[in-house]
Structure 1
């Protein structure tokens, strides 16, 4: 049982279950209603036609209509509001992570869950989370690169499945199924926060058409989300108005200096899903799309009277802006068909590419401005904007799969087997010289001083660019083979197993196994259990990423180098190349189902991960004299590495109940979904004789892994439909979180209930209007207070490090849907 299991939520879940049970005893429904409730799963089993309550693994199925009913305009946020084990933390002043938010499952890392589209592996993002956010050191999936308008449903397998699906599936698997049916949807939504900012405009068009031998379904979507700002005036009483220079106005009064909240984001999508019957036994299929996102966020304010501010350009200080462009493209092409004896085959190739470009504006390179011009003066000029470089991740995956049955006696043995080849590529393209260089020549022997008798720092302010020395163009190949089998030992006892071998040309090879069982006690109750091993190969992003950034270390801005493990600098510090993570998982569950339609599942699990890949703390000269000499030799104030340094244990319980019943002349669907998670860092291993274990991964990082995400999360919802009327009411609970980044002082933000409500009306059979509010009662996280000084006095009123539900407050919207 997780340590932070709240009694009030336990009582609530038991109470809801009892209420559902009483309702099912008082209500009977016909077989047709039961049939409509059963939902076919494609995850966790390669046997066709199995429903969620028949599966040996816990699988959530969330329809596209359920996602739209949340009122969220982006897929990641909608999943957070419907799947209790899924978290989608908000970030601010965190560089690229403000645009691509970390998506996690069961409290693990963004790269420890595998994402599929139509059952095929999805490529990851190019961006590496290197700031103080959830998922620091990871490169997960850009969930929001998939338009909600194109989604038929989402399945979430809450169970380790590396033996079935390969690397990354330690926490589970998310499969996003695209629409393939006839008809269409034209949707328009607009909304804004209660504060009047964060304006959203979303337009979506989906058209599907079947013809004699196939189908095509196409989606266009546009979404524009305005910036929100919840920064408080920067009083800075504790520092006399000083942080990076003077933050007060000309009268010495506090003013707002930061942009804290959602980044500005403009999104364009064009996706498709198609199939064509070549013969009666063979189908050609293809799907994919292009997504583009233009984002704008802000850095940290630079005030007057500081070496980072050129007062001739910015007499009142300046706030650097980071403008990003994310291009995401994918295409899948496959052919599948029938073989003799009811066997099936499927051959496919999937290509995906994620490009993340950085651009700075409203900024300056101090070293360019103050560089001596050779005539006794200085150049006194610098560009105020620059292209900072770009990150590119590419992935090509080839699969050949076979599935069928073998008659071995009383029951059939279901078998699936296949091979996979994958090539991952990572590229870092450098930025403009002004974005990264020290003066125009980048010559460290030239002393460039500021009017404050300090050496001018290189690079453009806010987000220094990637230099040619950091440029990367690398690839990695991997090969895999698997076998997956299911067999009914008796009519009530299902046994499944999987075995997978994978070989990476850099990280080595691995064998993963999985054994699951399910026993039907009677028609109402079943038990299920799984034991599995898993692994995650280090991402090429983690292996090759390097950059020099300005970070806050012990309250001071310093140049921090993120050093690739295969570099000469890493070797100087005694850092080895990355190896794979390995995991061992156990789970046991209870499934109940009744003729009334009431379902309840309870699943408990434990996941042990060894050699977990993390990014170290920024390490400074305080480590020791030898360490300090190496830093000085490489002109760095601090350095951080990706390392296999942490062993963790995660325990949890998922409770999900659903019940449909007639109510007040309409149909009422009740759902209670609760997730309890507890993660412990069991051991920290230093990978270098120069660096102590407690320095390479300190208490701040440990706390983020253990308490940075909610230990308890719940969704209680009621959806009522009566003729033309549709009412949705949901209560989302986020447990407490803790952190101590930036200040070194632990602080806990308390749990919160967030209420969402919407009311829809069918104007005609095809046209529906809906009005709603998310965070109806305008809840905010607890204020940071004295534990956050000086940052809480700089404007970070609600904190900085971890925001499970954001800091925007209430949001209201109006949506119109036309179906044809």
Structure 2
């Protein structure tokens, strides 16, 4: 019952306010309505193209649940990050702010319905977006995934976003197990706008060892867009954004040295980036065809911090590597991990009618490259002769997608049937480039107790270098019929063949019946899949250490490599899913309500194993002729899980005349994920002994099940009157569990249940100049801080590195205050 109280409080408050506004509206002559239920004509801004291949369908008329978010909704917030903007308004999306997890600090993944980040397909104008080159290998939410980096697309370039909360692999292919996010770019022949936003965190931080005030994270975002005419009937829309954000620091006080102070930089990275996007279309005379294209480029420099290295520590605080570099850093040092991201996407296509069939042919190229550098560091095996900055190597992912889509609506008795079919060819590539020699090297004669390579982020070795490719082809058939008034039936099937694992076939059935203009039932059943990513199949990251006089490697290896096979690794199979959903839609006047339940079963889910080590492992590798590796982990199939829950979205728009227009939304996602089967322990037999080692621990199971909120509720009030406007939002987050590595539930770290309040007020001057001030997390709410020790006496916070759980779905930075000025022309 305690879990439901905040949910009910937000829902009741929003409904009560909606009732009060509705009562005011009914007494106003300007908004007099009939007493009988009635439907409202579809809002043109709600017309969707995701989840259906018919035209002119609104979100409330869809067979599957879809959220439609306008550009204004995204921009009426303090954050300019697309991922964070989405998470603030869509309860089923979360965007954790991880820290101290290497590259994931800079390239953060989002989740839909609590599933893995790579189980959500992202489209740009209906075309598959490319994933990031980054593989999340550390202990963050989304560990083991390679997902699309939503923050590579600036919000200023978008007209709207459609979020399909339903399985759609039969329609779109791999990854669409949880759903689809379709980013629709702005289209304009004229007009334009520009804005500058400045903000910073003004917060009081309360950690286990004390309190302090912080003023940091200063952020400047400058963005602009311009619509240009191409002839008499075409358009070119250009958008650009520049962002500069200073880092934040929310670690606890470090007790290892005197004076006790905050030595870590646990928080957001330092970021500077610029992004450009273009979207264009031009009809080709009277041919009936339109040539279109869109694309973008982003350059991002991001610098996060690793764990502080303390000089002169004793016992558990001893750090031989820091002591070896004491001549360079007498008081210790905090390595900085610099990630430079270059992201490119470009699409061109031709659409038009051929004998009454709507035809769309497109080709798209996407590429993401990440270069890693370690700064303020050293190679401890070099001692005082070490350099302090290193180039650690790079990872690159690219894809080419060619697609053909054909559709036509055909009469069917008293109704119609929309027939759509097409195909897609995709080629993917993944590469790893080695770092400079000093970034991974181990000096001859170095002490055995110091680590090799750059402290904080050792470079990729030449043996890690990878250049892998694969291709796949697919074909689909999608039917959507309206045989009688009020009934919609859908069926879709898709066959795909991958060069690395073979063929998969998936299907989807859907139905909707509108009993009256104001009430409809809908439901779907589908199968889905997610192909193992190239990153999961080929990523290799190792570190060299000196053992018994020989240099050996330990790290992550491909499951089909000699090391992986020796320890039980096998070729990865695609994940498979079955998705059931059912719900209803109510529309009455300016009010609409949708309730959709879902049940998703996933098998053969892919995960990163635990690190396998010990004397039997070493001997087994030697039996196979591998003498340079002592420990390893790899990706494996074998997880079965279920996700079940409900999405509720209530919306009411009330123009009240003299009191202005109120737009109210209350939305919630209640979600429960359960791991029903985990990979069994691995039995490793060498020529000398046998051992059994866990490959999937309790820590990973709990991360799957409780790493995102089981309940999230968002209530929003948007008000406008003449040149004034305001947005108030309350977001309730259920508890999230950041599991310990000890295997004991008492040692887990919980975020607690919290409600975040955001507020923005706006004023329009001279009809063109827009002024806004606001605060995200107005009440300065934090997740529960990390305690010094658990109830069983396990130390949880002995170094002060981590002040708050980095699984927190709303971050751990506190109150963010901002101002924005914009102009439209």
TM over 0.5: yes
1:41 offset after TM fit, Å? 0.8
Q: Deviations over 1:106-157 (max 9, x none)?
A: 1001100000001110000000000100000000010000011101100000
Q: Does the C-alpha gap of structure 1 residues 625 and 200 become closer, same or farther in structure 2, counting only changes over 3 Å?
A: closer
Say which of 592, 613, 632 aligns to 1:620: 613
Q: Which is further off, 621-630 or 703-712? A: 621-630
Shift of 1:18: 7.0
Partner of 2:208: none
Determine whether 1:67 maps to 2:74.
yes
- Alpha-carbon distance in structure 1 between the residues aligned to 2:669 and 2:16: 18
Q: Pick from 201, 206, 218: which aligns with 1:199?
A: 218
Q: Which residue of 2 aligns with 1:312?
A: 327
Q: Distance in 2 between matches of 1:628 and 1:19?
A: 67
SS at match of 2:483: strand
The alignment partner of 1:199 has SS state of: strand
Are 1:528 and 2:532 an aligned pair? no
Q: What's the offset of the Cα at 1:523?
A: 1.5
2:394 is the alignment partner of 1:390: yes
Alignment check: 8 A CA contact 1:388 1:466 kept? yes
SS of structure 1 residue aligned to 2:563: helix
Which of these residues, 359, 366, 378, is aligned with residue 380 of structure 2? 366
CA distance 1:8–1:188, shift in 2 (3 Å): closer
TM-superposed CA distance for 1:690, in Å, is 2.6
Judged with a 3 Å threshold, the aligned counterparts in structure 2 of structure 1 residues 560 and 674 are, in CA distance, closer, same or farther, namely: farther
- How far apart are residue 14 of structure 1 and its match? 6.0
Q: CA deviation at 1:37?
A: 7.4
- Verify the 8 A CA contact 2:92 2:712 in the aligned structure 1: yes
Q: Is the partner of 2:284 in helix, strand or coil?
A: strand
| 3-state SS in 2 of match to 1:421 | strand
**Equivalent residue for 2:209?**
none
Q: How does 1:192-591 map to 2 (within 5 A)?
A: 192-194=200-202, 195-210=214-229, 211-235=231-255, 241=256, 248=257, 252-280=258-286, 281-305=288-312, 306-309=319-322, 310-341=325-356, 343-369=357-383, 380-439=384-443, 446-449=444-447, 454-548=448-542, 560-591=554-585
Report if the CA contact (8 A) 2:604-2:637 is conserved: yes
Distance 1:49 1:322 in 2: 48
* Structure 1: gaps spanning 5 or more residues: 236-240, 242-247, 370-379, 440-445, 552-557
Could you say what secondary structure the match of 1:792 adopts?
A: coil
Q: 1:623 to 1:766 in 2, by over 3 A?
A: farther
Pair 719,16 (structure 1): closer, same or farther in 2 beyond 3 Å: closer
Tell me the distance in 2 between the aligned counterparts of 1:559 and 1:756.
49
Partner SS state of residue 694, structure 2: helix
Q: TM-score, normalised by structure 1?
A: 0.91
Instruction: Quote the Cα distance in structure 2 between the aligned partners of 1:559 and 1:133.
Output: 24
Preserved CA contact (<8 Å) 2:112 2:178: yes
Q: CA deviation at 1:763?
A: 1.2
Shift in Å, 1:520: 0.8
Alignment root-mean-square deviation, CA: 2.4
Q: Flag the 1:687–1:331 CA change in 2: closer, same or farther, 3 A.
A: farther
C-alpha deviation, 1:599, in angstroms: 0.4
Residue 574 (structure 1) shift: 1.9
Of 754, 757, 762 in structure 1, the residue corresponding to residue 756 of structure 2 is 754
User: 1:20–1:598: 8 Å Cα contact kept in structure 2?
Assistant: no
Residue 467 (structure 1) shift: 0.7
SS in 2 for 1:159: coil
- 1:169 aligned residue (164, 167, 176): 176
Aligned-pair CA distance for 1:368: 2.8
Contact 1:717–1:731 (CA<8 Å) still a contact in 2? Answer: yes
State the alpha-carbon separation in 1 of the partners of residues 39 and 484 from structure 2: 28
Question: Which SS does the other structure have where 2:788 is aligned?
Answer: helix
Contact residue 677 and residue 712 of structure 1 kept, 8 A: yes
Distance 1:525 1:14, change over 3 A: farther
How far residue 7 of structure 1 moved from its aligned partner, in angstroms, is 4.6
Shift of 1:293: 0.5
- Quote how far apart the aligned CAs of 1:233 are: 1.4
Aligned to 1:722: 721
Q: How many residues align?
A: 776
Measure how far apart 1:630 and its partner are.
7.8
Q: Distance in 2 between matches of 1:38 and 1:317?
A: 56
CA distance in 1, matches of 2:528, 2:191: 41
Please tell me whether residue 656 in structure 1 is matched to residue 646 in structure 2.
no
1:141-185 CA distances to partner (integer Å, 9 max, x unpaired)? 100000111011000000000000000000000000110123111
**How does 1:590-605 map onto structure 2 within 5 Å?**
590-594=584-588, 596-605=589-598
Aligned to 1:443: none
Pairwise CA distance, 1:507 = 1.9
1:666 Cα offset (Å): 0.4
Contact 1:21 1:598 in 2 (8 A): no
TM-score normalised to the size of structure 2? 0.90
Q: Give, in whole Å, the separation in 2 of the partners of 1:431 and 1:199.
A: 32
Are the structure 2 counterparts of residues 35 and 413 from structure 1 closer, same or farther at C-alpha, using a change threshold of 3 Å?
A: closer
Structure 1 residues 548 and 631: CA distance shift in structure 2, 3 A: farther
The 3-state SS of whatever aligns with 1:79 is: helix
Quote how far apart the aligned CAs of 1:254 are: 1.4
Sort the Cα spacing of 1:29 and 1:287 in 2 relative to 1 into closer, same or farther, 3 A: farther
Matched, 1:765 2:767: yes
Cα separation, 2, equivalents of 1:549 and 1:140: 25
